[in-house]
């Protein structure tokens, strides 16, 4: 599903990633970990096409990211979900509108979008808060809205960059349960985190990054 | 519909900015429209004058009745010519006194009537060219008893010259105003894009194409332009309606009907507003979007 071949990324003279080769199969659940500055966020951004590698190739579901751009990349992104540490919700829109936004861009009919949004919000336990605004929600609730938005187009891949970074342990546990249920339905999940607690008792694959290089 | 909905939401969300920018666009297009209106009226004036061609055939003092009759016959055989009136020297003096009104007193000091008698001739067929009129003038001036023939060519040339100046000035001012409108729209849209940069980032993250994001901004620019043009035309028409004089008179003769812009001219101004609005948005989104 995700393949990186000798991918390097330089920002000026600074090497954020050096010859990273990693394969993530369809349906896998992978933790991407490492100290701050190891290159976790950069790796996720490369997978998402938000950055271009300085060297190497990235294949997402067989598509070489270096060879596509513009609207083809936009179409690929509809098959990927991204969850951020700071949630990235629109404060001037309701929970419903925030989630539906990802479906709007596909040109889906509103009735279908509405139904699907409602189902997802129910799945993340926020059906009663459809008309609330993000500022009225807790951190955990906002992250669940972000997850619902990432899932609305049934993505093949879900990437999450420190999704529990701003959340307390109890909420973190709930969010991780959500990610696992998403993975059980077939979505490939890659989570970048430096939360040792999450990694301690997990049986999921862990990819360790340090100084821009992979150590598995 | 989605794009229009988002465009309207953005405009309503930034009401003050859009109100100010649309107002400024309106003033710019109002000035431009005023130039077009003035130019249109002067052009209409020139065309009306050209269509109602008339000659004044001035007779030499002491021309006998036989010579006058010969002149009259010569005029009548000209294609389309019709003698409107014969104005004697005395009649000419009385007409001048009436025109001068309260200033007519100074005519009493004249020992001799300097005004010539004349035949006022008009042409039923208004399609005579300047060259044809010139030929008629030259041929009539050769007739015995004719002192001079005038057909207001100098007036027309001066007015046409004035109309040309108005047109050139209008184009220059119009050009500058168009640049101003473009600048205003570009900056307003840039502000709108900047204020929504977080939203744009998220839209791109969830797979929106560039045109999905850009189109509402194009619509916002177009709305500004066309609204500005619409209000400008409305203000212009209101001013025209309140302007009670419909015919401007000169020396008692009706010389100019005051007209409003025709449909094509109104459409042109509206289209100009639309194009400038779209262009301004295009420039703004072109500079801002670097995905």
A185-213 residue pLDDT tens: 999 999 999 888 888 877 888 999 888 88
CATH topology of domain B54-150: Alpha-Beta Plaits (3.30.70)
Q: ipTM score of the complex?
A: 0.86
Residue A198: CA atoms inside 13 Å, Cβ hemisphere, count? 31
Identify the pLDDT of residue B191: 86
Residue B201 forms contact with A (CB below 8 Å): yes
| Closest partner CB to B206 (pick from A50, A70, A105) | A105
pLDDT band at B288 (very low <50, low <70, confident <90, very high): low
> For residue A41, what are the CA distances in angstroms to A33, A38, A119, B24, B280?
10, 8, 30, 46, 37
Residue of B nearest to A149 (CA): B206
Q: Scanning the structure block, which residue is given the tokens 């994001």?
A: B213
| Closest partner CB to B207 (pick from A50, A74, A90) | A74
Tell me which chain A residues have a C-beta less than 8 angstroms from the C-beta of B205: 48, 50, 77, 82, 88
Min Cα separation A21/chain B (Å) = 25
Q: Are B151 and B56 in contact (CB under 8 A)?
A: yes
- Evaluate if residue B154 carries a pLDDT over 70: no
Residue B9 forms contact with A (CB below 8 Å): no
| Closest partner CB to A90 (pick from B2, B202, B204) | B202
Q: Scanning the structure block, which residue is given the tokens 């500058």?
A: B176
User: Are B198 and A104 a contacting pair at CB < 8 A?
Assistant: no
Residues 49-78 of B with CB under 8 A from A: none
Task: Tell me where in chain B the CATH 3.30.70.3040 domain(s) lie.
Answer: 54-150
User: Are B207 and A88 a contacting pair at CB < 8 A?
Assistant: no
Tell me which chain B residues have a C-beta less than 8 angstroms from the C-beta of A78: 206-207
Residues whose CB is less than 8 angstroms from the CB of residue A129 and which lie 6 or more positions away in sequence, other chains included: A95, A121, A136, A137, A141
Name residue A2's beta-bridge partners. Answer: A24, A60
Q: Are B4 and B217 in contact (CB under 8 A)?
A: no
Residue A153 forms contact with B (CB below 8 Å): yes
Identify the pLDDT of residue B252: 47
Residue B208 forms contact with A (CB below 8 Å): yes
User: Are A74 and B203 a contacting pair at CB < 8 A?
Assistant: no
Q: Are B103 and B111 in contact (CB under 8 A)?
A: no
- Angle A110-123/A139-151 helices, nearest 10 degrees? 130
Q: Scanning the structure block, which residue is given the tokens 């640049």?
A: B179
Mean pLDDT for all residues in chain B:
83
Identify the pLDDT of residue B244: 62
Q: What is the 3-state secondary structure (H, E, C) of chain B?
A: CHHHHHHHHHHHHCHHHHHHHHHHHHHHHHHHHHHHHHHHHHHHHHHHHHHCCEEEEEECCCCCHHHHHHHHHHHHCCCCEEEEEEECHHHHHHHHHHHHHHHHHHHHHCCCCCCCCEEEEEECCCCCCHHHHHHHHHHHHCCCCEEEEECCHHHHHHHHHHHHHHHHHHHHHHHHHHHHHHHHHHHHHHHHHHHCHHHHHHHHHCCCCHHHHHHHHHHHHHHHHHHHHHHHHHHHHHHHHHCCCCEEEECCEEEEECCCCCHHHHHHHHHHHHHHHHHHHHHHHHHHCCC
- Mean pLDDT across the stretch B230-246? 86
Mapped onto helix, strand or coil, the DSSP state of residue A41 is: helix
Min Cα separation B10/chain A (Å) = 12
Q: Scanning the structure block, which residue is given the tokens 């991204």?
A: A82
- Evaluate if residue B155 carries a pLDDT over 70: no
Residue B204 forms contact with A (CB below 8 Å): yes
Lowest mean pLDDT among A92-106, A129-143, B85-99: B85-99
- Evaluate if residue A87 carries a pLDDT over 70: yes
Identify the pLDDT of residue B249: 58
Query: d(Cα B176, Cα B184) in Å, to the nearest integer?
Result: 12
Residue of A nearest to B207 (CA): A74
- Domains for chain A: give ranges and CATH numbers: 1-79+156-216 (3.40.50.300), 86-154 (no CATH)
Q: Are A175 and A3 in contact (CB under 8 A)?
A: no
Min Cα separation B3/chain A (Å) = 11
Burial B44-69 (b: 16+ CB within 10 A, else e): bbbeebbeebebebbbeeebeeebee
Residue B205 forms contact with A (CB below 8 Å): yes
Select from A31, A12, A26, A40 the least CA-distant residue to A211.
A40
User: Are A153 and B202 a contacting pair at CB < 8 A?
Assistant: no
Residue B209 forms contact with A (CB below 8 Å): yes
Query: d(Cα B57, Cα B210) in Å, to the nearest integer?
Result: 74
Min Cα separation B45/chain A (Å) = 56
Query: d(Cα B57, Cα A102) in Å, to the nearest integer?
Result: 84
Residue A29 forms contact with B (CB below 8 Å): no
- Mean pLDDT across the stretch B135-154? 83
Residue B14 forms contact with A (CB below 8 Å): no
Identify the pLDDT of residue A128: 92
Tokens for B129? 């060219």
Give per-residue pLDDT as tens, B64-113.
888 888 999 988 888 878 888 888 888 888 888 877 777 777 777 778 88
Name residue A63's beta-bridge partners. Answer: A60
User: Are B203 and A101 a contacting pair at CB < 8 A?
Assistant: yes
Min Cα separation B24/chain A (Å) = 29
* For chain A, percent of residues with pLDDT exceeding 70: 100
User: Are B198 and A88 a contacting pair at CB < 8 A?
Assistant: yes
Tell me which chain B residues have a C-beta less than 8 angstroms from the C-beta of A70: 209-210
pTM of the predicted model, to two decimals? Answer: 0.72
- Mean pLDDT across the stretch B205-219? 89
User: Are A102 and B206 a contacting pair at CB < 8 A?
Assistant: yes
């Amino acid at each position: 599903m995700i393949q990186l071949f000798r991918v390097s990324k330089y920002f000026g003279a600074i090497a954020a990633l050096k010859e990273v080769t990693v394969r993530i199969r369809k349906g896998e659940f992978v933790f991407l970990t490492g100290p701050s500055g190891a290159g976790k966020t950069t790796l996720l951004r490369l997978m998402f096409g938000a950055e271009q590698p300085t060297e190497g190739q990235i294949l997402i579901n067989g598509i070489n990211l270096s060879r596509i751009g513009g609207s083809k990349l936009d179409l690929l992104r509809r098959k990927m979900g991204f969850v951020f540490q700071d949630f990235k919700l629109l404060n001037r829109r309701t929970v419903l509108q925030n989630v539906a936004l990802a479906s709007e861009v596909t040109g889906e009919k509103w009735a279908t979008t509405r139904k699907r949004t409602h189902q997802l919000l129910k799945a993340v336990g926020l059906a009663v808060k459809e008309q609330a605004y993000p500022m009225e929600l807790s951190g955990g609730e906002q992250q669940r809205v972000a997850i619902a938005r990432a899932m609305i187009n049934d993505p093949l891949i879900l990437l999450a960059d420190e999704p529990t970074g701003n959340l307390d342990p109890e909420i973190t546990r709930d969010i991780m349960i959500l990610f696992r249920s998403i993975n059980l339905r077939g979505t490939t999940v890659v989570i970048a985190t430096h939360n040792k607690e999450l990694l301690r008792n997990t049986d999921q694959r862990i990819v360790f990054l340090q100084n821009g290089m992979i150590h598995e | 519909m989605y794009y229009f909905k988002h465009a309207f939401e953005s405009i309503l969300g930034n009401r003050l900015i859009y109100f100010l920018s649309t107002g400024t666009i309106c003033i710019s297009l109002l000035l431009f429209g005023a130039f077009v209106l003035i130019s249109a009226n002067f052009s209409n004036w020139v065309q009306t004058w050209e269509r109602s061609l008339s000659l004044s055939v001035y007779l030499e003092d002491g021309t006998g009745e036989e010579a006058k009759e010969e002149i009259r016959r010569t005029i009548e055989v000209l294609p389309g010519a019709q003698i409107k009136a014969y104005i004697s020297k005395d009649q000419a003096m009385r007409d001048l006194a009436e025109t001068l009104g309260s200033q007519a007193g100074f005519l009493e000091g004249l020992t001799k009537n300097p005004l010539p008698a004349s035949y006022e001739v008009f042409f039923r067929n208004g399609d005579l060219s300047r060259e044809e009129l010139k030929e008629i003038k030259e041929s009539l001036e050769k007739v015995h008893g004719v002192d001079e023939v005038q057909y207001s060519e100098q007036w027309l040339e001066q007015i046409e010259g004035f109309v040309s100046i108005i047109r050139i000035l209008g184009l220059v001012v119009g050009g500058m105003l168009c640049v101003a409108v473009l600048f205003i729209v570009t900056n307003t849209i840039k502000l709108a894009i900047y204020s929504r940069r977080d939203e744009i980032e998220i839209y791109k993250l969830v797979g929106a194409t560039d045109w999905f994001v850009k189109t509402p901004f194009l619509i916002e620019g177009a709305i500004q332009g066309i609204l500005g043009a619409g209000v400008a035309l409305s203000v212009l028409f209101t001013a025209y309606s309140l302007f009670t004089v419909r015919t401007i008179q000169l020396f008692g003769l009706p010389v100019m009907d005051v007209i409003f812009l025709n449909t094509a001219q109104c459409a042109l101004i509206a289209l100009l507003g639309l194009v400038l609005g779209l262009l301004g948005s295009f420039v703004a989104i072109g500079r801002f979007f670097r995905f």
